[in-house]
Amino acid sequence: MANFIDRRLNSKNKSTVNRQRFIRRYKSQIKKSVEQAINKRGVTDVDRGENITITKKDLSEPIFHQDKGGVKDRVHPGNDQFVTGDQIKRPPQQQGQGSGEGDASDSGEGDDDFVFSISKDEYLNLLFEDLELPNLEKNQLDKLIDYKTVRSGYCAEGVASNIDIVKSLQGSIARRIAMTSGKRKELKILESELTVLVDDKHEHIQEIKSLKDQITILENKISKVPFIDTFDLRFRNFAKQPVPTSKAVMFCLMDVSGSMDQATKDIAKRFYILLYLFLTRTYKTIDVVYIRHHTQAKEVDEQEFFYSQETGGTIASSALELMVKIMAERYNESEWNIYAAQASDGDNWADDSPRCKKLLTESILPKARYFSYIEITQRPHQTLWQQYQQVALSSEHFAMQHIETVEDIYPVFRELFKKNNKKAA
């Protein structure tokens, strides 16, 4: 297969426009490949680009041509086995025949499917298209973090690299006009008088000499006005302007009891990665808080969150209680947009599940923008799922989905965050 690399410069964005037109034209095929890729890629590779394959038949152009028309009867010589309406069996595959999808060629080269690469931004745009954050609301603006430099007029002092030549020349011309306008008018009058005396038939030697002396004096005065002066210099002025940004915090809650194996944790991690990437498209400042629990909850770093081994039973309310405590201490709901995702295999003490429901409805959901719960299991649902179902019916800030395999991650994510799924508050 031949690889073509276009290293030409984007003259007037011509190549960029053609690329976007191609992506729009084959959007359905590209999007299908992107959705399939999310389940095959490693967790650490979710934020890079992707190689997209489009089958050759999807790239073929329709051709219109004229037919001879009419009904024709054709006789094919050598047919002594079939009559009209018979179905012909597919011939058996010959030994040594290739299994590729490309077309064979007598020149030794086949015609493969079309493969091209999309960038990280294009990949994420296709991945999160038609998705939105429910209950999206930007809280208090944090104006002490980000600033942008903007033009702020002109000033009379500055560094040489910021000199505005055009503005300085305009000031020089204006100054010279103002300082010499009176002398130029007087010079014009003297020149007119000199012309009259020179054209006169009588001799005016003394008058002509006096006028020429006055003209010379005025011309010298005009010429001594400097072309440009330090007073004329104008420098481009720049000022730092605060950029309004909003902050978000993402709480990751996960059951790490003995019933949660590493494969289940990896599925949860992929979901958390998707949620984090999705939030980065809306918020510039994002804090991530990892809370793991069995019978007790603890705030940990990412490595311990996903890979530390624990044993014992499950009390899910311990993680919710720790989340409420951290929110009260560090993340005021008036300053932070709070999002949370909880992953579990559904195993929980039956007496603790009503406690989880109470914590969600009374302490967390009134302050959080969105809370999503995913249950990763192939077993029947237990009491925690049943209690959370009641929460989902009464709160639009809460959503829950069931995941069985890795292939379910992206469809479940789209279901949780599809547009118009929840009304913004």
Residue 262: predicted pLDDT: 78
> Would 283 be classed as within a structural domain?
yes
Residue 146: predicted pLDDT: 58
Tokens encoding 418: 């599809």
> Would 183 be classed as within a structural domain?
yes
pTM, to two decimals: 0.51
Let me know whether 256 and 405 are in one domain: yes
CB atoms within 10 A of CB 370: 22
Q: What are phi and psi of 322, to 5 degrees?
A: -65, -35
DSSP string, 184-222: HHHHHHHHHHHHHHHHSSS--HHHHHHHHHHHHHHHHHH
Amino acid at 280: T
3-state secondary structure of 334: coil
CA–CA distances in Å: residue 126 to residues 32, 38, 49, 121, 267: 10, 11, 11, 9, 22
> Would 94 be classed as within a structural domain?
no
DSSP code of 147?
A: E
Let me know whether 288 and 314 are in one domain: yes
Tokens encoding 306: 């996903």
- 356: Cα separation from own chain's centroid: 36
3-state secondary structure of 247: strand
**With the CA atoms of 78, 81, 87 and 90 taken in that order, what torsion angle do they form, in degrees rounded to the nearest 10?**
-70
Q: ∠ CA 301-254-351 to the nearest 5 degrees?
A: 135
The domain boundary residue, chosen from 102, 127, 152: 127
> Would 80 be classed as within a structural domain?
no
> Would 19 be classed as within a structural domain?
yes
**With the CA atoms of 267, 270, 271 and 277 taken in that order, what torsion angle do they form, in degrees rounded to the nearest 10?**
180
CB 422 within 8 A of CB 396: yes
Let me know whether 122 and 208 are in one domain: no
Q: How far apart are CA 272 and CA 286, in angstroms?
A: 13
Let me know whether 377 and 401 are in one domain: yes
Residue 55: predicted pLDDT: 65
CATH of the domain at 409: 3.40.50.410
The domain boundary residue, chosen from 214, 237, 260: 237
> Would 103 be classed as within a structural domain?
no
Let me know whether 336 and 220 are in one domain: no
CA–CA distances in Å: residue 194 to residues 223, 232, 233: 21, 36, 39
Let me know whether 168 and 301 are in one domain: no
Residues 6+ apart with CB under 8 A from 178: none
Let me know whether 328 and 411 are in one domain: yes
The domain boundary residue, chosen from 182, 206, 237: 237
Q: Which residues of the chain have pLDDT under 50?
A: 1, 11-13, 42-44, 98-110, 135-145, 421-425
CATH of the domain at 230: 1.20.120
> Would 314 be classed as within a structural domain?
yes
Evaluate the CA torsion angle 325, 331, 336, 341 in order and state its sign. negative
Let me know whether 232 and 257 are in one domain: no
Q: State how many domains the chain has.
A: 3
> Would 74 be classed as within a structural domain?
no
Range of the domain at 197: 160-237
CA–CA distances in Å: residue 388 to residues 244, 268, 306, 343, 394: 36, 18, 24, 13, 10
Let me know whether 205 and 180 are in one domain: yes
Q: How far apart are CA 417 and CA 425, in angstroms?
A: 15
Let me know whether 268 and 346 are in one domain: yes
Tokens encoding 352: 């603790």
Let me know whether 205 and 252 are in one domain: no
Q: How far apart are CA 221 and CA 226, in angstroms?
A: 11
Let me know whether 262 and 203 are in one domain: no
Beta strand pairing status for 50-54 and 114-118? antiparallel
**With the CA atoms of 228, 229, 231 and 237 taken in that order, what torsion angle do they form, in degrees rounded to the nearest 10?**
60
Q: How far apart are CA 146 and CA 241, in angstroms?
A: 9
Evaluate the CA torsion angle 173, 174, 175, 179 in order and state its sign. positive
